[in-house]
Structure 1
Amino acid sequence: MDVDVSRIQLLTRALDQRADSADLSDRILEKCDLSRDKIAPPTTVYSAHQEALFVRYACDALQDITFAAKTGLQFSSSSSLTAYISKYSRDLRQVLENTSRFHGMIDPALQFCLRHAGNFAAVEADWKDASFARYHRRTEFLLFAGLARMRSLTQTNFFPIEIRFQHEVGENSAIFQKVAGCPVVFGAERIEIVLAPSSLDMPVPTYDSNLRAHLLEYGERVLAERRSPRQKLRAQVEGLITRSMPGTIIHANEAAANLGMSPRTFARRLRDEGTTYREIVDDLRCDLAQTFITNGMPLSEIAYSLGYADQPAFSTAFKRWTGQAPSAFRSRLDFSE
């Protein structure tokens, strides 16, 4: 599952500037099985999972939970077909309508739609591959980058009414609000950027009706010929588990039924991928637990969110996964020399 390489190029430059050295970026790129050569021209795409890991590791290494969001606000341009269609659109409404239609070309894990609800409009994001929902820093990067892109296209520094995320960041929410310059809500029902309806009428100065018509025609042909990437069963299972939270972890038989399989076939398919349902649950809980701790959530809330009866039960599991108690956990990786 590939995404536009311009994003990792931006993230790497931003990390170089923050660290005052290229060494940290090089180490994190290596952790993600990347290098500067691998993200340099003529490369145009790279793995969405590599992007998610890079963003996570960079925030951890800098001990700055807002690094991804801040870097997202620096995003201004892309060379993708979707970006060019937006560039030649008439106004922000057309930009967002085009994004809803064609965004899958540049990020197969996420889809956007423009929603009207009374006295506001919202750019709503939804997971096509819900296994990516665990990567909170990447989600923040993408939404803030989306806001930056809207500003770049309209050549205005407008502010949305609100930015909403489904995950929690505890007391860190105030820091994100300072970065955004507008209210940022965590633990919301949807992932979305809420706009005043008048924002949709903001013109795009680079509008060209003929170019837009040509690019739309080409985009429709690409969509018609394009095949959606087939998700591994593990990714589908992670999505089911993630959507069942907080507070509940669905049983294997229920997951199998949701995917239209018998329990026996379900177990065999997972075994063919080299895993089991229990391993997926443990891996996902371990990964989310570390993210939640980094987010600043209280341990009691983490225990509930991950489906544990109480905090001691969660602490015991966390120590089994990582070799340390949750209170001692500081960083997912050691980036020292």
Structure 2
Amino acid sequence: MGHFALTIRDTFMVNLGQATVTQQFTKAIVAALDGSDLPPNDELNQLLAKIRPYKRVPMPLQDELWRLLVRLYPDPGLGLKLGLQVQPGHLDVVGFLLLSCDTLEDAMDVLLTYHPIVGEGGEFVSTQDDHSCRLIYAPFHNVVRAQRVEAVMATLVRLTRYLTGEAFNPGFVTFQHEPTLSVVEYEQALGCEVRFGQLADALVFDTSQLSLPLVQANSDLFDQMRSLADDQLSQLQQFDLRSQIANLIREHPNWGKERIAEALGMSGRHLNRNLSREGVTFKILADQTRLSMAEDLLAQQVSKADIAERLGFNDESAFFKAFKRWTGLTPTEFEQRGTRR
């Protein structure tokens, strides 16, 4: 890998206009294989090597990981198995923030506020009445949806019990999809009633349990972790401008800084100032986005002439020179290595 590409990927939490997932949760899903009866695999290791340079894993790579897991391990209970192995530390700073909360209600507020730090592949919302509380997970993805939702719900049930010293007693879990195991197997794994074909994927429990104390409550640690979580959430939100720019570059790779700025309703100078506050320049972001596009197209075996045209280069030679500058490899050498960073 060339110095340019390595510097970019190691310095920034890159999402290139896409949702991301923390490395910790991605590692947790794979580490959970060690706690199950699923054997390791070379193809999986190769994909993990491709994921490793990212500080936050772009959702397309996370999708690729789940596709591979389902293909390598065609176990209908895979999502449940992996979700039940997740530990608080796998949730980055959010996990330690959850541990230090006073009550289950506090922990739920933390999850609702800070869950994007763990992953931007879905959203948590809650509803409650006099008798029951519903913690609803709304995924934004459709790739391997059932297994991933089951992993999230199993993680919720497992961690909530862990946080409360096993005092938490869920009423039932609902899934939008139909079961891939027997209902009895689901209920044995989750320790509660499970319903399928429902309107939402949700964990439902008695409202009185919101007052359950957490066994590792620590107000001093909570304040420290919340400060870190606020910083990380703020950093994620700052990437919204980068996301908009990257999306425009993907749609119009031949547009320059001034044209992109105009589309965003600002001057080129204002765009530069905003990006400089985030420690990045328009050129770095544009080159990085085009590199990602080039890698995707090379992996799809699109001709190099077509790639040059799609990326806005005048000719194939100009594309080759840019790719060599970005990666230290020619497109042909890159293909021969068979690796994508």
* TM-score where L is the length of structure 1: 0.57
Identity of aligned residues (%): 18
- Verify: 1:7 aligned to 2:25, yes or no: yes
- Verify: 1:96 aligned to 2:108, yes or no: yes
Correspondence 1:56-135 to 2 at 5 A: 56-78=67-89, 80-127=92-139, 130-132=140-142, 135=145
CA contact (8 A) 2:77 2:180 kept: no
Correspondence 1:134-153 to 2 at 5 A: 135-153=145-163
CA contact (8 A) 1:89 1:207 kept: yes
Shift of residue 164, structure 1, vs aligned partner: 1.3
Provide the residue aligned with 2:311 in structure 1. Answer: none
- Verify: 1:223 aligned to 2:241, yes or no: no
CA contact (8 A) 1:90 1:207 kept: yes
Q: Of 159, 173, 178, which residue of structure 2 is paired with 1:168?
A: 178
Shift of residue 17, structure 1, vs aligned partner: 5.7
How many residue pairs end up in the alignment? 226
Q: Which amino acid aligns with 1:227?
A: Q
- Verify: 1:182 aligned to 2:192, yes or no: yes
Query: In structure 2, how many angstroms separate the alpha carbons of the residues matched to 1:154 and 1:55?
Result: 30
Query: In structure 1, how many angstroms separate the alpha carbons of the residues matched to 2:35 and 2:97?
Result: 31
Change (3 A) 1:109 1:202: same
Q: Deviations over 1:58-105 (max 9, x none)?
A: 344333111221221121222622222212110111000111011112
Provide the residue aligned with 1:322 in structure 2. Answer: none
Q: Deviations over 1:282-323 (max 9, x none)?
A: xxxxxxxxxxxxxxxxxxxxxxxxxxxxxxxxxxxxxxxxxx
CA contact (8 A) 1:109 1:132 kept: no
- Verify: 1:27 aligned to 2:39, yes or no: no
Q: Which has the higher contact order (CA 8 A, sep 6+)?
A: 2
Which stretches in structure 1 are left out of the alignment for 5+ residues? Answer: 234-272, 274-337
SS in 1 for 2:27: helix
Change (3 A) 1:161 1:60: farther
CA contact (8 A) 2:163 2:215 kept: yes
Query: In structure 1, how many angstroms separate the alpha carbons of the residues matched to 2:31 and 2:92?
Result: 20
SS in 2 for 1:122: strand
Provide the residue aligned with 1:259 in structure 2. Answer: none
* Structure ID, larger Rg: 2
CA contact (8 A) 1:52 1:137 kept: no
Shift of residue 57, structure 1, vs aligned partner: 3.4
SS in 2 for 1:123: strand
Query: In structure 2, how many angstroms separate the alpha carbons of the residues matched to 1:221 and 1:20?
Result: 37
Q: Which amino acid aligns with 2:199?
A: E
Change (3 A) 1:133 1:115: farther
- Verify: 1:193 aligned to 2:203, yes or no: yes
SS in 2 for 1:80: helix
CA contact (8 A) 1:112 1:124 kept: yes
Shift of residue 34, structure 1, vs aligned partner: 2.4
Change (3 A) 1:20 1:126: closer
- Range moving further from structure 2, 105-114 or 130-139: 130-139
SS in 2 for 1:205: coil
Shift of residue 176, structure 1, vs aligned partner: 2.0
Change (3 A) 1:169 1:76: same
CA contact (8 A) 1:153 1:204 kept: yes
CA contact (8 A) 1:89 1:209 kept: yes
- Give structure 1 regions of 4+ aligned residues with deviation exceeding 6 angstroms: none
CA contact (8 A) 2:51 2:61 kept: no
Shift of residue 5, structure 1, vs aligned partner: 2.6
